[in-house]
A and B are shown apart, each in its own frame.
Chain A
Amino acid sequence: MSHKIINPSTSVAQHPAPQGYDYTIGPQQTLPDLPQSMGPSSASTFASTGISTTGPSAASAASSTNLASGPSVYSSSLHPLAHTQQVSLAAYAFLFQEMVAQARNASKSVAEIELRLHRHGYHLGVRLLELLNFRSSVNASSRSAFFKTSTAGPSSTSATVSSSAPSAQLHGYHSHGSGDAAGATAAAAAAAAADDGHALAHSISHMKRRDLTMVEILQFVHSTVWTYLFGRPSDDLVKSSDRDNEFMIVDHAPLLTRFISSTNVQCDFFVCGVVEGVLDSACFPCAVTVHSVPDDKFPEKAVFVVRFESAVLEREALRA
């Protein structure tokens, strides 16, 4: 299929600043202040041939697609308060059920269903690591300052405008407005961001240190990731006594599969995918599986088994 071809970056020069992610090209820098122009004809060219043949003529027809007028995803805030914070578990359960049904219809075997669920979760996991680290880097004092600014107004913003160099870089990604903010100085951007009370980046002076050992990253999964996903830490984190590379995360009552009666398909493979995505993107290659271990007290009890690759053990031995 043509869409599987990823063109080398030489094709970038032929595009007059396309907006958004173009899967035929791969990641590109998109700056809010560049003139946005991408014609519908060029989009169809990508889809049909995978070869970029966009010329200025296509760009001039861009006015018909008003993509540029929409707010860019890069200018929206990452702050947890900037979006809808919660939806009902029922809505999620319905969606989850449809996802499982979809996976079932597209698969021929149980293993394939589980693989599909796993892949769904994996996509979440690789995104979560960055996001959660970013959010936990917001220290307590600036966080409280944020809450003040969002409620009390600009009077208390002075506490948050203490940007150092790394945070100034972050402003670039989160600058508001349609373009002129990108060229503004860090201080001005910080002030503007503090004014509207939505930018999170400016209140970070130090990014949280990355987790470097297996135990640290697993504790991150056990506490931070679990709390983010399910509103509580997981019930236990256990190291296998038999194998060095094996750890177990225990959940007594998995939230997502609460409404799914026990079947031969383990729908918790979705959560496995999330965990594996987080660990993979933190450079801890591993395989995660789930096993349901019902006992008298917790009939729904599930154990997520994390098996790190031997390379991780070797690396850890070198550091010790």
Chain B
Amino acid sequence: MSASTSGTSAPAAASRKSLKAFSEDVWKNKTAKINAELFTLTYGSIVSQLCTDYERDFTRVNNQLYSMGYNIGVRLIEDFLARTALPRCDSLAKTSEVISKCAFKVFLNVTPQIGNWSSNKDSFSIFLEENPLSDFVELPMDAARELWYSNIVCGVLKGALEMVQMDCDVWFVSDVLKGDQLTEVRVKLNRILKDEIPAGED
């Protein structure tokens, strides 16, 4: 996505090997790992604490999860680029591929499917078959109607994509926790942001 480190050998290696093998390699050899259940349980504890704090106002919980995700995303992209040194994506199709095969793999060790492209190719869906955030989770009845349990993912994608100059809307369409067949996250590209020089830097 960013070309800041394109002089190194990693991007060349990435183009030779398939993206999938490349991210498999990054995951296996360059990533410190931690028990996924600890991650799952910690996230569950955060969500349930938010529900209590906001007195089960799930709209606020959704928004809070989203903004937590956003905060993560704007920093996570740095870590991602440092780890993978991938070059800038030339199309949204490429971006979607990097998100599913590389980003999700490197951070959460899952590879969601991409599909459901809009006709003008500006939006796509991510289908999370496995979701480490929501293992072992069953929503109480009132929460099942309004709460997007894994909403933090949307925020992360939004924040991360914004940092590589892509202004996107990201939202959940369906979630298996709510009884839907699939967990679907929709990403819609609004515009490409221009690099702007911060005020006073000129």
Residues of A within 8 A of B (CB): 1, 3, 18-23, 38, 40, 42-44, 46-47, 65-73, 76, 80, 83-92, 94-99, 101-102, 106, 116, 119-121, 123-124, 127, 228-231, 255
Contact = CB atoms under 8 A, between A and B. Distances in A.
Contact of A98 (B32, B46, B106): B46
B20 interface: no
A87 B140 CA distance: 26
29 contacts: A42-B141, A44-B145, A46-B142, A65-B179, A67-B179, A68-B179, A69-B179, A69-B181, A70-B177, A70-B178, A70-B180, A73-B136, A73-B138, A83-B135, A84-B109, A87-B107, A88-B32, A88-B106, A90-B31, A90-B32, A90-B79, A92-B39, A97-B72, A106-B53, A116-B49, A120-B42, A121-B45, A124-B42, A127-B41
B46 A65 contact: no
A43 B142 contact: yes
A84 B71 contact: no
B107 A70 contact: no
B25 to A, nearest CB: 14
Contact of B180 (A43, A66, A127, A229): A66
Given A18-B141, A90-B107, A120-B42, A84 B36 contact: yes
A15 B201 CA distance: 66
Contact of A91 (B39, B64, B181): B39
A77 to B, nearest CB: 10
B157 interface: no
A22 B140 contact: yes
Interface string B134-152: 0111111110110000001
Interface string B12-51: 0000000000000001000111111111111111101110
The list of the 6 closest CB pairs from A to B, nearest first, reads A89-B32, A73-B138, A86-B33, A91-B107, A43-B141, A66-B179
Given A88-B107, A116-B49, 18 more contacts: A1-B55, A43-B144, A67-B178, A70-B178, A83-B36, A85-B109, A86-B35, A87-B36, A88-B106, A90-B79, A91-B76, A92-B39, A95-B152, A98-B68, A98-B71, A99-B42, A120-B49, A231-B35
A165 to B, nearest CB: 27
Contacts of A1: 55
Contacts of B46: 95, 98-99, 102, 120
Given A20-B144, A92-B39, A73 B109 contact: no
A255 B33 CA distance: 11
A80 B83 CA distance: 28
A228 B48 CA distance: 23
A81 B110 CA distance: 14
Given A21-B140, A85-B36, A71 B176 contact: yes
A229 B140 CA distance: 27
A70 B176 contact: yes
Nearest to B30: A88
A177 B105 CA distance: 30
A3 B136 CA distance: 23
A70 B42 CA distance: 23
B132 A38 contact: no
Contact of B140 (A20, A40, A84, A92): A20
Contact of B108 (A67, A84, A127): A84
A295 B41 CA distance: 32
B45, B46, B141 — most chain A CB neighbours (10 Å): B141
A261 to B, nearest CB: 15
Given A90-B79, A95-B39, A47 B142 contact: yes
Contacts of A94: 72, 75-76
A20 B68 contact: no
Nearest to A119: B49
A72 B176 CA distance: 10
A89 B178 CA distance: 29
A255 B34 contact: yes
A3 B48 CA distance: 14
B19 to A, nearest CB: 17
A127 B40 CA distance: 12
Given A70-B178, A85-B36, A44 B68 contact: no
A146 B68 CA distance: 40
B145 A43 contact: yes
Contacts of B108: 84, 87-88, 91
Interface string B178-201: 111100000000000000000000
Contacts of B177: 70
Contact of B141 (A22, A69, A86, A119): A22
